[in-house]
Amino acid sequence: MERVEIDGSYGEGGGQIIRTAVALSAVTGKPVRITKIRANRPNPGLRPQHLHGILALKQLSGAKVKGAQVGSTELEFIPGELKFEHVKVPIKTAGSITLVLQALLPAMAFVGGSFEITGGTDVPWSPPVDYLKNVTLHALRRMGLNVELDVRRRGHYPKGGGLVVGSVEPWEERKPLRVLKAGRIRGFSGISHATNLPAHVAERQAKVARERLGEFYNVPVEIETEVSRSLGPGSGIVVWAETDGLRLGGDALGKRGKPAEVVGREAADELIGSLKTGASVDKFLGDQLIPFLAFAGGEVAVSEITNHLLTNVWVVERFLGKIFKVEGNVGGPGRVEARGVSF
């Protein structure tokens, strides 16, 4: 089968290119070679969190892999046959568990499987696990894909130590996702957590987020608080809107010297900003849905077209041909339409 060539410095030029390309290679059976991996970043090449995603997909598809080591700027992935697996991914740092799942889920969807991943659940520059569980997986269920996910332990930067387990049912009926408006906002939910920190940190984050959302919307706001122990301290909050369409989310992480009130307000304001556009999905979900829209089809309105989204579309179309139509400019709201590929 003809090999797909991917320029790893294209567009956004980050780890997402690797995750999407290797996942689609595993699904389609097409070998892929990725060159110039993260070429424009301060520390080019594969980082540990990218490597863990590649190795998990190698196990899932019985692939042959060349260049799978930290620092490598070129990778060749030659997939075998996808099969049901229990995949264990032991990230020994705070490498993002959700980014590993971004690589695993599109491939695991076609055969089912289960996973056990240790690492970071709530770390900078990646979706918090509560966002993935309550916003992303909610949308995937609407598309007919059922994923169960359980957060057994939190993991924050720099020590990690989080533990997430779950399972994926084979994607039997792929339902197109056509949601162009958020519609009526029915209420807000959320989770505010503090790990190895006093309970009042989680409570203050939740209180301010609750008050801020209440300033703009006269609907119920229910934010749970969670206090836990792990390898190191950390806090964060994820809030989401229950709408007539899908869920839109906002999140923020705590850090040393950053008041809990600022954390809560940041998450609420991010969500309010997305809702003001009237779009059916926020900018993070819009980006994450791309590989799934490729196979199920559909159309969504996105609160913001990002370089991440456009890069993800480009990678998918290297494997599946021209199947997306994106309207709107980077930094503004837009629409994404996909003609689902039978597979």
Measure the CA–CA gap between 340 and 343, rounded to whole angstroms: 9
Tokens 């930094």 -> residue: 331
Cβ atoms of 235 and 193 within 8 Å: the answer is yes
Nearest-CA neighbor of 209 among 257, 251, 169, 179? 251
Determine whether the annotation assigns residue 292 to a binding site: no
The answer to whether 156 is a known catalytic residue is no
Measure the CA–CA gap between 213 and 238, rounded to whole angstroms: 13
* Sign (positive or negative) of CA dihedral 40, 41, 43, 48: negative
φ, ψ of residue 44 to 5 degrees: the values are: -60, 165
Determine whether the annotation assigns residue 286 to a binding site: yes
Determine whether the annotation assigns residue 29 to a binding site: no
Cβ atoms of 191 and 226 within 8 Å: the answer is yes
Determine whether the annotation assigns residue 46 to a binding site: no
Choose the catalytic residue: 50, 156, 193, 308. Answer: 308
Measure the CA–CA gap between 29 and 80, rounded to whole angstroms: 7
Determine whether the annotation assigns residue 288 to a binding site: yes
Determine whether the annotation assigns residue 190 to a binding site: no
Q: List b or e across 31-55, with b for residues whose CB sees 16 or more CB atoms inside 10 angstroms.
A: bbbbebbbeeeeebbbbebbbbbbb
Cβ atoms of 64 and 28 within 8 Å: the answer is no
- Residues of the binding site: 102, 284-288
Question: Which residues belong to the active site?
Answer: 308
- Residues of the binding site for ATP: 102, 284-288
